Structure 1
Amino acid sequence: MSDASAPGGGELRSADRAILEFLVDGAPQYAAVIAQRTGIHTPYAERRCEALVRTGHLEPVTGEVVYRITARGEEAIGRLPD
């Protein structure tokens, strides 16, 4: 599976890419905030965040499920830290 792969071995979904791009330059966020800022319905954003955790693109930061992007997530959208 390549770094740009999503659950099931396919390419990242547009929602996945939007989530990763939103998180790449900012602080960890709740799924509801991610949903609001990206225009994705909250339940779908929550499911996509969970899927991105399973593939290593995101990681939960706290027990309240605040997400941040991982190096793998940055690689998947073509962004690497300087």
Structure 2
Amino acid sequence: MLGETHDILHEFPNLEETINTLHDKDPQFASLMEEHDTLDSEIRNLEELNQPIDDFDMEEMKKTRALLKDQIYQYLRQNS
């Protein structure tokens, strides 16, 4: 859905405490989360502003976001 928020806190609201703790104490997790949320914001901005971008490039961005989300989820499972 266009413009839908996919940042990590919205994706995993039931893990908010774990996310905040890891973000504050684990630089690797914080970096993954920042990379994901920055990419999510960029995708949302492109969709909302209807910026010209090739469909292939947009799909690649969304695939990268999904891979980051999967990595973050695995990290959360290992640390909760």
Q: What TM-score, normalized by structure 1, do the two folds share? A: 0.31
Structure number with higher helix proportion = 2
**Which has the greater radius of gyration?**
2
Structure number with higher strand proportion = 1
Q: What TM-score, normalized by structure 2, do the two folds share? A: 0.32
Structure showing greater relative contact order (alpha-carbon pairs closer than 8 Å, 6 or more residues apart): 2
